[in-house]
Structure 1
């Protein structure tokens, strides 16, 4: 039973608050019902009570105004329907309730085929172009610079006519570019996606958003960031965006050369060298898009099915590290709730699986300590890989909305051994590491490794220390397709190789893991760093 006092509250004698669907430092978002319009589902965003000052109130109201006016121009902007202040003097605004997949989650699940890439990019361009062309604000035509273009601010919805409808979200730090207006020279944005001029706090125009868009397009096609700093600090990112050239596209991805050129041009350090507006990007891409203009296969929002794994020889490296295949999966802390069906929960764990997992107690043969171990769960005729862990109850309560990260390391000699790394991350507590080893010479190690590759995801069951009767938190992590392919190759090779010293292999993996932690933290922190305090 919920303890949130807002649940079932009637707001402005019209909106009934149903449940909390997102929260962050900036505020909370609830799913609600518009009782005046027959119970139409809406999303209602409140400004955090800790930010109730005149400056934040003005910014919050401006965000609502921008979205309301822009959504009149373009279907690719989230629509705002109402704005008000409640009886406690807390401002709120009411939006359309969106059910779909966040682009960040889509990127984490699979490499994006070019036809789908072009369809999504076209709609993002249309949304950006509408914002950059501007709105009438205080009687003046005003250009809108988003300043925080990134995958987590793009939502992809299933649509009967378009197939997929794309929405640009979160204009919380959008800048009104008005002629003659006094300009502020401060930095706001997400470090990993900021343009060089944005890092400098300079006056921005649409070309800053284009730089961020270039980084995002690269990520859509590769699953990776084109630029990484030496340290995850403002100074590290400042140097990276100013001095580090983007990593060229992997030839094995078969990205067309003209497309790669356009994306690289968007990431030019000098804004004069970038496409000058979003329309220019699509006009350059449209001839390429027509070459791939064919019906897309049914989009699988939940990658449960087995994949076709090509047979490729394993490299000769003693420790294989598919670093470029790692994925960060954002927690469900955004204003748009992920699509729900009768067969699935918010974290894409099937209801049947969730019911089974929540009934499972901590195994009697495992000590009730802060340990991590793998296990295969049987759901009807399906084998589901899972990771079990025990944490302090207080810490576990604070990690229910963490981002999830995974990566795999493998060593072949002296003994074929796999290190399965999972990390939970939030800005307050940092990273919680959940590593476990899989011996590829054992039946259990082979079964778990192949099931991970086939499923492409796994459940994470977290128990509170001293409460072994049932798991306190259940979530899911997704494995990138290239990692799934690598897991099969490692499993095949593990069967063929001779094993001799498992402890020595574990020690070498442990050393590689400690060296890798720093790089993983940079990725995790970069994905969550946002100086405007917007964490949806």
Structure 2
């Protein structure tokens, strides 16, 4: 944990000897957020949050360290949780943590929203919460994380070439740290009253179902633009009464134009149940209902109707059938990786643009992959996929991934966990549709290597020498090509993976 000569958020000295604060960009009940530059990473912009309470005794410092470590670990395994990569205490004892700076909008500013946006963003929020509730494995012990302050202001939405909009959750673990030393009173309560569960207001022990209650309030507000209750005042006592005793208002009364499916209305109202045992018991149950509502009886698009694709999970096929070539990518023969969210999970995919005739020729290729990692001078991963058959020359698909990039770490973490990835083939010819999907499995040894390299990358100090590492890996690329071909040619029989 870093200590800092930085005594005041308005001072001029560097925080933790590396962060130059520029301007205040946010302020709330739990603290202030500043835009800053990380001078050790060439002036990279970051966001730094100073918590409102000072931490001077060793016990509270220990609690803060624990929650900061857990939230930082969590942010590295879910793309839907804001990346946290440093933390510490200022000279005056104020805790701070450093996170990625995202140029986007608060969910609060997007409310109310149309149903398609609601389903897209709600599913992503659920995936982030599900990851946290399932827990972080540290030293072979699972640590579930409960957010305790889910609200629109703690969710940021940024543009994304695949999803259109990407939702990320802020402030994991911080509410627990603050609440651990606070008494639940009208003056000492550290939460956001309109979104608090009844058991949270009672000061009771919380589990993931408390976040589900808060999520219900958020879903209600995303659709109607209003909260489920309207107490006579904004004081603690008034909100306590409505959360404990008053049923939520009907969505149909507040927004009759919505014409919500009954299943969605029932889901939101169930999330708002007063007793935890009456709510959905985990986020997976919510995702199942959302998926069921959105399932369409329509047949697959004609461009994806072939026997090989029909064997894939329908959630995968449906998601991939809706993909379009990103506007920010050139129309040419290229390959790049993407992390894609389906209705109830995340998968890794390589996107390829090729002429239609070549896609046809490659449709029955053997898929083979290898990974090479170097830690110094900068952690970098070379991911090579080979499409191989005897009738055509080998098709090489190399990808270089900077392992200090948060999105790349999330992608590789998913890759290691799912044990496979997909190849999505887009036509070079208009309208540039996705016309084929292949699956490539990852060898268990390679999978274990990926997990080791992820852990190693997270422990390395930040560097700015990615270009040098990429050059070193390019020198090894020819060697790995030769090794992969020798492996395949040595087999007596080539079979599809």
Q: 1:45 to 1:230 in 2, by over 3 A?
A: closer
User: Is this contact kept in 1: 2:145–2:173, CA < 8 A?
Assistant: no
Q: 1:189 aligns with which of 174, 188, 191?
A: 191
The secondary structure found in structure 2 opposite 1:125 is helix
What corresponds to 1:223 in structure 2? 225
Q: 1:265 aligns with which of 260, 267, 270?
A: 270
Which moves more between the two structures, 31-40 or 45-54? 45-54
CA shift for structure 1 position 167: 0.7
CA shift for structure 1 position 270: 1.7
Task: Return 5+ residue gaps in structure 2 as ranges.
Answer: 1-7, 299-318, 324-497
What corresponds to 1:497 in structure 2? none
The secondary structure found in structure 1 opposite 2:226 is coil
Deviations 1:480-528 (A, max 9, x none): xxxxxxxxxxxxxxxxxxxxxxxxxxxxxxxxxxxxxxxxxxxxxxxxx
CA shift for structure 1 position 185: 8.6
Q: 1:161 to 1:66 in 2, by over 3 A?
A: same
CA shift for structure 1 position 155: 0.7
User: Is this contact kept in 2: 1:80–1:93, CA < 8 A?
Assistant: yes
The answer to whether residue 55 in structure 2 is matched with residue 80 in structure 1 is no
CA shift for structure 1 position 52: 4.5
What corresponds to 2:472 in structure 1? none
Alignment partners' CA distance in 1, 2:182 and 2:34: 32
The answer to whether residue 244 in structure 2 is matched with residue 242 in structure 1 is yes
CA shift for structure 1 position 188: 4.6
Q: 1:274 to 1:183 in 2, by over 3 A?
A: farther
Deviations 1:80-100 (A, max 9, x none): 111234555554322111111
User: Is this contact kept in 1: 2:216–2:272, CA < 8 A?
Assistant: yes
Alignment partners' CA distance in 1, 2:89 and 2:9: 18
Task: Give TM-score, length-normalised by structure 2.
Answer: 0.52
Alignment partners' CA distance in 1, 2:32 and 2:56: 13
What corresponds to 1:38 in structure 2? 42
CA shift for structure 1 position 60: 4.0
Q: 1:277 to 1:34 in 2, by over 3 A?
A: same
Alignment of 1:45-444 (within 5 A): 45-48=49-52, 52-54=56-58, 57-86=61-90, 90-107=94-111, 111-136=112-137, 140-171=141-172, 173-175=174-176, 186=184, 188-250=190-252, 251-291=256-296
Greater relative contact order, per chain length (Cα 8 Å cut-off, separation 6+): 1
CA shift for structure 1 position 122: 0.6
What corresponds to 1:28 in structure 2? 32
User: Is this contact kept in 2: 1:67–1:78, CA < 8 A?
Assistant: no
User: Is this contact kept in 1: 2:53–2:95, CA < 8 A?
Assistant: no
Q: 1:84 to 1:175 in 2, by over 3 A?
A: closer
Task: Return 5+ residue gaps in structure 1 as ranges.
Answer: 177-181, 297-536
Deviations 1:100-143 (A, max 9, x none): 11011111xxx311111011011100111111111235763121
CA shift for structure 1 position 196: 1.6
Q: 1:240 to 1:90 in 2, by over 3 A?
A: closer
The secondary structure found in structure 2 opposite 1:94 is strand
Q: 1:46 to 1:184 in 2, by over 3 A?
A: closer
Deviations 1:343-396 (A, max 9, x none): xxxxxxxxxxxxxxxxxxxxxxxxxxxxxxxxxxxxxxxxxxxxxxxxxxxxxx
Alignment partners' CA distance in 1, 2:134 and 2:257: 38
What corresponds to 1:305 in structure 2? none
CA shift for structure 1 position 7: 6.1
User: Is this contact kept in 2: 1:156–1:166, CA < 8 A?
Assistant: yes
Which moves more between the two structures, 147-156 or 244-253? 244-253
Q: 1:26 to 1:206 in 2, by over 3 A?
A: closer
Alignment partners' CA distance in 1, 2:13 and 2:181: 41
User: How many pairs are equivalent?
Assistant: 286
Q: 1:216 to 1:88 in 2, by over 3 A?
A: closer
Q: 1:5 to 1:67 in 2, by over 3 A?
A: closer
Alignment partners' CA distance in 1, 2:205 and 2:56: 27
Deviations 1:262-289 (A, max 9, x none): 1111111121111111111011111223
CA shift for structure 1 position 290: 3.8
Q: 1:267 to 1:24 in 2, by over 3 A?
A: closer
CA shift for structure 1 position 256: 1.5
Task: Give TM-score, length-normalised by structure 1.
Answer: 0.48
Q: 1:23 to 1:276 in 2, by over 3 A?
A: same
The secondary structure found in structure 1 opposite 2:99 is strand
Q: 1:24 to 1:272 in 2, by over 3 A?
A: closer
